[in-house]
Amino acid sequence: MFIHAVSHYLPAQVVGNDHFTRLNGLSDEWITTRTGISERRKAAPGENTNTMSIEVVNHLMAKADLSTVDLIVGATYTPHDTIVTLAHVVQNHLNIADIPTVSVSSACSSLLNAIEIVEGYFALNKATRALVVVSEHNTGYYNEDDTVSGHLWGDGAAALLITRERQSDRDLTIKGLLTGGAAHAGKAVEAVVLQPLERGVIMPYGRDVFQNACVYMPKASLQILAKFGLTAADVDYVLPHQANLRISRNVMQTLGLPEEKLISNIQYLGNTGCAGCAIALSERWDSFQPGERIVVTVFGGGYSYGAMLVEV
Amino acid sequence: MFIHAVSHYLPAQVVGNDHFTRLNGLSDEWITTRTGISERRKAAPGENTNTMSIEVVNHLMAKADLSTVDLIVGATYTPHDTIVTLAHVVQNHLNIADIPTVSVSSACSSLLNAIEIVEGYFALNKATRALVVVSEHNTGYYNEDDTVSGHLWGDGAAALLITRERQSDRDLTIKGLLTGGAAHAGKAVEAVVLQPLERGVIMPYGRDVFQNACVYMPKASLQILAKFGLTAADVDYVLPHQANLRISRNVMQTLGLPEEKLISNIQYLGNTGCAGCAIALSERWDSFQPGERIVVTVFGGGYSYGAMLVEV
């Protein structure tokens, strides 16, 4: 299957580290040293995962024909509406009747869960042109006074048109992907939580998240490469979940790859949840060269992980 | 594929209509005439979609070997945790490493979305034994003072072990299923909403939900039957989404089937969201006779719908 087109949407408001210096006394140097983050975007009042999804689908419409989409899979862990999910508002917006429409959450790793679900519908011949929309409104659910994780989060959305057959020379080929739950590992079920009836997103065991992310992303990357007889040396770019620049660098180190091969947007977007990797794919789309191989690898609270091998 | 086993879990507390008479002045007769509901269950303090999921999986373990489960799909629109989803706590509880684990929402129709996702993983040879867990904590998100819909909701959970190959003579055969979004119809994106950052579940356009449910459930049922050269006359039981007994009766009437063929638990459980049909399957499991055909059909806020043909 193929990624025919991808778009991203970012809220206009930029929040620099100086905001958290004023609020919590965290210096720019303290934040950037620990996370790599200098700034992030914040949704405006009235913006949420549903409105951002519609925005990004409008952007994608300018690049690709969405009128024949026959499957919509949304993903978020920061939902505006758990009944009228982002997938449903997108279906409503596109006004395409009677196609499977569902939203998923596997926290920050949902992008690959969503694409694997698409892969299943393609295998069943129940769909051939799928719209995947990932959208996070972290600042809706975060506590910016939280000195542990308040400064990590950013908002944003991305949309991908995934087709079973190649549509053009510029399509990215999805060679294969895998996802897995690692809820048995470490402090999986308490390290990062978002319990809407209790409070917003908190990360009581950041170190455990860090350690497991550094284990699972390289492991999953090597697994998907091995399926195609490849190793890390065959990879042109690694696009890990954008949780923390130190995690991303650790992943590259474990894979034995130089930092030039790392794709990263966390410096200016923060952790945009399951949208981060898709936003980066959209940002870098025009720079990819024929024959290049990209491994997208994700890790999320819960825990869950995945890896996808893409070829230009 | 096959439903090898199913279990359900209900919180102990029973809330009768007299509760709403005292609270809102709604008489037992007023509620039963309009909805068919006499009582519903309410989760205890500390219970939620995640704890109920673990409870129901424990029940299922007594009926089937879950140690070789290789896929977990959870579903809820009343999440306890949107990051550590019910699928993740179940994976943690079963302590099965590295299997795809994801939660979905397509409101009250998610049961069939979850099973269709399983169907996709089976087609991909990425799974052969899937655990589907549906769990709703409506009373966590409802406003019981709401005279429009406060009295409709109940809590509960169910779990199904779905296998690619037949495991025993008693397995239910899933002949086929379909799902669809109907977000283009009526007041789909505003009729029933649950916006955690704003407030709980509300149903400002109940009549629109009613009308569309009565259109889409019979339509989807006939569609799935037609795929197998069958008509409504070939069906032994219809198990519609448990939203309102008047909707269920309307569905039977449209299909030209007598009320004896209706499976219903809304009278004593209320609307248990995406769990309702699965709870009913569990309740009725022992009474099904070889050769019988059951159509499960769902409709949910958003809107979304589906139908599944099952044979004993």
CATH number of the domain enclosing A44: 3.40.47.10
Nearest-Cα distance to chain B for A33, in Å, is: 26
Give the pLDDT confidence score for residue B171 in this predicted structure: 97
**A141 and A184 belong to one structural domain:** no
* Residue numbers in B near A183 (CB within 8 A): 84, 88-89, 91-92, 101
- CB proximity B98 to A under 8 Å: yes
**A142 and A190 belong to one structural domain:** no
Give the pLDDT confidence score for residue A199 in this predicted structure: 79
HSE (CB half, 13 Å, CA atoms) of B255? 34
**A128 and A7 belong to one structural domain:** yes
- CB proximity B16 to A under 8 Å: no
**A153 and A253 belong to one structural domain:** no
Per the structure, the count of domains in chain B is: 2
Nearest-Cα distance to chain A for B260, in Å, is: 30
Nearest-Cα distance to chain B for A121, in Å, is: 6
Q: Per the CB < 8 Å rule, is A99 touching B180?
A: yes
Q: Which domain holds residue A243?
A: 172-311
Q: Pick from B50, B83, B89 the residue to mutate for testing the A interface (most A CBs within 10 Å).
A: B83
Helix (H) or strand (E) holding B113: helix B110-123
- CB proximity B119 to A under 8 Å: yes
User: Tell me, what DSSP letter sits at residue B134?
Assistant: E
**A268 and A126 belong to one structural domain:** no
Burial classification of residue B290, based on how many CB atoms lie within 10 Å of its CB (0-12 exposed, 13-18 middle, 19 or more buried): exposed
**B123 and B239 belong to one structural domain:** no
- CB proximity B201 to A under 8 Å: yes
* Residue numbers in B near A153 (CB within 8 A): none
Q: Per the CB < 8 Å rule, is B97 touching A303?
A: no
- CB proximity B302 to A under 8 Å: yes
Cα three-residue angle A145-A150-A155, rounded to 5 degrees: 125
Identify the residue whose tokens are 């940002």. Answer: A283
Gap between the Cα atoms of B108 and B106, Å rounded: 6
- CB proximity A16 to B under 8 Å: no
Q: Looking at B141, B163, B185, which one is the last position of a domain?
A: B163
- CB proximity B180 to A under 8 Å: yes
* Residue numbers in A near B185 (CB within 8 A): 97
**A157 and A184 belong to one structural domain:** no
Residue of B nearest to A178 (CA): B100
Q: Per the CB < 8 Å rule, is A124 touching B126?
A: no
CB A160 within 8 A of CB A59: no
Give the pLDDT confidence score for residue A189 in this predicted structure: 93
- CB proximity B102 to A under 8 Å: yes
* Residue numbers in B near A174 (CB within 8 A): none
**B198 and B129 belong to one structural domain:** no
**A154 and A236 belong to one structural domain:** no
Q: Per the CB < 8 Å rule, is B80 touching A106?
A: no
Q: Pick from A51, A76, A82 the residue to mutate for testing the B interface (most B CBs within 10 Å).
A: A82
Residue of A nearest to B178 (CA): A100
Nearest-Cα distance to chain A for B287, in Å, is: 32
- CB proximity A304 to B under 8 Å: yes
- CB proximity A57 to B under 8 Å: no
Q: For residue A73, list its beta bridge partners.
A: A102, A132
Residue of A nearest to B183 (CA): A92
**A135 and A255 belong to one structural domain:** no
- CB proximity A110 to B under 8 Å: yes
- CB proximity A297 to B under 8 Å: no
Q: Per the CB < 8 Å rule, is B104 touching A103?
A: yes
**B79 and B192 belong to one structural domain:** no
**Residue A180, φ and ψ in degrees, nearest 5:** -155, 150
CB B112 within 8 A of CB B308: yes
- CB proximity B82 to A under 8 Å: yes
Question: Helices A245-255 & A28-35, crossing angle to 10 degrees?
Answer: 30
Q: Per the CB < 8 Å rule, is A102 touching B102?
A: no
- CB proximity B106 to A under 8 Å: yes
- CB proximity B74 to A under 8 Å: no
Q: Per the CB < 8 Å rule, is B83 touching A193?
A: yes
**B105 and B215 belong to one structural domain:** no
Structure tokens belonging to residue A312: 């230009």
* Residue numbers in B near A100 (CB within 8 A): 113, 116, 179-181
Q: Looking at B163, B194, B222, which one is the last position of a domain?
A: B163
Q: Looking at A124, A140, A163, which one is the last position of a domain?
A: A163
Q: What are the CA-CA distances from residue B56 to residues A100, A254, B137 (Å)?
A: 28, 40, 14
pLDDT per residue rounded down to tens, chain B (312 residues): 999 999 999 999 999 999 999 999 999 999 999 999 999 999 999 999 999 999 999 999 999 999 999 999 999 999 999 999 999 999 999 999 999 999 999 999 999 999 999 999 999 999 999 999 999 999 999 999 999 999 999 999 999 999 999 999 999 999 999 999 999 999 999 999 999 998 789 999 999 999 999 999 999 999 999 999 999 999 999 999 999 999 999 999 999 999 999 999 999 999 999 999 999 999 999 999 999 999 999 999 999 999 999 999
- CB proximity A282 to B under 8 Å: no
Q: Per the CB < 8 Å rule, is B188 touching A95?
A: no
Q: Tell me: ipTM over 0.85.
A: yes
Gap between the Cα atoms of B264 and B243, Å rounded: 10
- Segments of chain A scoring below 70 in pLDDT: none
Structure tokens belonging to residue B206: 């109940």
